[in-house]
Homo-oligomer: A and B are copies of this chain.
Amino acid sequence: MIKKIAVLTTGGDAPGMNPAIRSVVRYGISQKLEVMGVFRGWWGLINEELKPLSHRSVSGIIGQGGTILKTGRCAEFKTEEGQKRAYETIKKNNIDGLVVIGGNGSFAAAHEFYKKFNVPCVGVAASIDNDVNGIDYTIGTDTAVNTALDAIDKIRDTATSMERIFVVEVMGRDSGFIALTVALAGGCEDVIIPERDLDLNAVCHDIVHGNLVGKMSWIIVVAEGAGKAEDIARQITDMTSLETRTVVLGHVQRGGRPTAVSRDIALNVGKAAVDCLIAGKTDIALGLAAGKIVEVDFETAIKKKELKIDNFYKLIKTLT
């Protein structure tokens, strides 16, 4: 029987990490476990920055963005030395298992750590990019999408009033998920994503053609992994002689009160992660797929996630 677990958040922060922490802590305590909070991700394990969390220590965080445990990327954990020191912290503190709240990078690190030191690790898929393979919806994605959509709706006011072409860059290094979702939901005229070859001729053709029939305002969404808004805007101007404007939404998409969906997933998956550790499971990430919580091997989870983009893209183009 396990007696003590630790929870940490690693990688980029995502809205919903806090309710996930709350769920791990309170559900863990309800199952008679001691729960330690590790600060600043792997760094905290290496440097023994951790402390016991009580029921009350996670009061009032359910609606807050970010993570009270803080997070970060940690180069030292990629070294033998770093991993060893992290393991020593775990031994010294009698920790029987880890709940790792994060994305692909976090799961790759947890997988390696588990294989080397045999410490039970269960992942909670949290990432605004929604790029964990085998999982439909990660914690934070819905919030980020709604934040981006809110921005797109605002930009639409100016695009329409001033009859302008906007190129709006949203997050998504390897994934066009946010871009596709907000382009569809925002009624945007085009979308450029890493999963699809960019045909700027076609984009410009549509713009020029639209202009001839009186369509004067455009919003083109670009995933950051597919190019810089500024470059694309300049090329469009070069090819069409029309003025363009750019907006890079940036880190605003990471923050804010988590939406109901982000909290709901966080609370349910957080609990499930504790159940998995109790049941002796390890080396898996948990998340939502087809409306249910699923367990995905870390090895599978960190593979490139395929996005079914063709119907998505066609619908965007049909509806504008």
CB contacts under 8 Å to B, within A151-193, are: 151, 153-158, 160-163, 166, 181-182, 184-187
Question: Within 8 Å CB of A12, what residues of B?
Answer: 162
Is the beta-carbon distance between A184 and B264 smaller than 8 angstroms? Answer: yes
Is the beta-carbon distance between B260 and A149 smaller than 8 angstroms? Answer: yes
Is the beta-carbon distance between B23 and A319 smaller than 8 angstroms? Answer: yes
The one of B149, B155, B257, B292 in contact with A153, judged by C-beta atoms closer than 8 angstroms, is: B257
Give Cα A147 to B257, complex, Å: 13
Is the beta-carbon distance between B255 and A157 smaller than 8 angstroms? Answer: yes
Give Cα A67 to B161, complex, Å: 6
Give the nearest-CB partner of A31 in chain B: B318
The one of B63, B72, B246 in contact with A163, judged by C-beta atoms closer than 8 angstroms, is: B72
Tell whether A267 is near chain B: CB-to-CB under 8 Å.
yes
Tell whether A261 is near chain B: CB-to-CB under 8 Å.
yes
CB distance from A176 to the nearest CB of B (A): 15
Question: Within 8 Å CB of A146, what residues of B?
Answer: 259-260
Question: Within 8 Å CB of A261, what residues of B?
Answer: 142, 261
Is the beta-carbon distance between A184 and B153 smaller than 8 angstroms? Answer: no
Question: Within 8 Å CB of A52, what residues of B?
Answer: none
Is the beta-carbon distance between A254 and B290 smaller than 8 angstroms? Answer: no
Give Cα A184 to B163, complex, Å: 30
Is the beta-carbon distance between B161 and A319 smaller than 8 angstroms? Answer: no
Give the nearest-CB partner of A23 in chain B: B319
Is the beta-carbon distance between B267 and A70 smaller than 8 angstroms? Answer: no
Interface string of A6-19 (1 = CB under 8 A from B): 00010011010101
Give Cα A12 to B162, complex, Å: 8
Is the beta-carbon distance between A71 and B154 smaller than 8 angstroms? Answer: no
Question: Within 8 Å CB of A200, what residues of B?
Answer: none
Tell whether A287 is near chain B: CB-to-CB under 8 Å.
no
CB contacts under 8 Å to B, within A267-319, are: 267-268, 271, 289-292, 315, 318-319
Give the nearest-CB partner of A318 in chain B: B30
Chain A interface residues (CB < 8 Å from chain B): 9, 12-13, 15, 17, 19, 22-23, 26-27, 30, 40, 60, 62-67, 70-72, 136, 142, 145-147, 149, 151, 153-158, 160-163, 166, 181-182, 184-187, 245-252, 254-257, 259-261, 263-264, 267-268, 271, 289-292, 315, 318-319
Closest 5 A/B residue pairs (Cβ):
A154-B255, A65-B157, A157-B255, A66-B157, A66-B161
